Amino acid sequence: MTSSEMWTRAAAERYDAEESANSSAAALGPALDFLAGLAGDGRALEFAIGTGRVGVPLRERGVPVVGIELSEHMAAVLRRKIDERELPVTIGDMATTVVPGGFTLVYLLYNTISNLLTQDEQVECFRNAARHLEPGGRFVIELGVPPLRFLPPGQVAVPFDVSERHLGFDTFDLVEQLLVSHHLTRDGGDGRYRRGSSRHRYAWPAELDLMARIAGLELERRVADWDGTPFAQDSAKHVSVWRKPV
């Protein structure tokens, strides 16, 4: 077991509805194109596959997908969408769980490596990816750039969403390199809000590159989004690709 916080049954059941905007064909298309191109004729392994937001449509494109998921509740939602024979999922953590066979692609999206709350566990995640990759295979991570430039002296919170139905902001512990995402979400039409929070360990791109080197992987490409926009100093996130040498 890692330090990742577990998704509850209630959170798993509402996940797809809350992420519907990020799950449409238009929103997912560039990511699926990117991942399918890297997988080629091989198999793909998704760390923290969740409810299959990405894994299921990638499988529908003809890429054989295997998943690892810590939360049995999230995996149960996925299983309603696709049979185990078509998309096998192993319950376990992404830092240590091993599944059979080799893969041309291992991927970990939507800031999920930050669910591992220690640097050692994040390093082990890279090592686990390298363990599963065939020579020449790629490990892909999608991760936000820590928005610390928005923190003036004495401020510890940065909002990331202020809308009619949702208020979200992050608070930072700069010593421990941790952030807590806070959410106030309107439930139904009675004006009540549901409050939730989750802990994350943020990491800079250069730190991830060092983790990759420890795992024997080499940086091949880094872009600002799935469309391939060049990564720059003002990019809010990055999609990074590391390659296992032949």
Tell me the pTM. 0.94
Number of C-beta neighbours around residue 177 at 10 A: 17
How many Cα atoms are found within 13 Å in the side-chain-facing hemisphere of 14? 9
Quote the pLDDT of residue 1: 55
Angstrom distance (rounded) from CA 109 to CA 93? 15
Span 61-94, pLDDT tens digits: 999 999 999 999 999 999 999 999 999 999 999 9
Q: Which residue has the tokens 């330090």?
A: 3
Helix or strand run (H / E) with residue 59: helix 55-60
Angstrom distance (rounded) from CA 87 to CA 61? 13
- 38: its two tokens: 């890297």
What is each CA distance from 203 to 57, 77, 101, 151, 165, in whole angstroms? 29, 30, 30, 16, 29
- DSSP state letter for 22: G
**Residue ranges for the chain with pLDDT beneath 70:** 1, 189
What is each CA distance from 4 to 20, 41, 68, 133, in whole angstroms? 24, 32, 14, 23
Quote the pLDDT of residue 26: 87
55 φ, ψ to 5°?
A: -60, -40
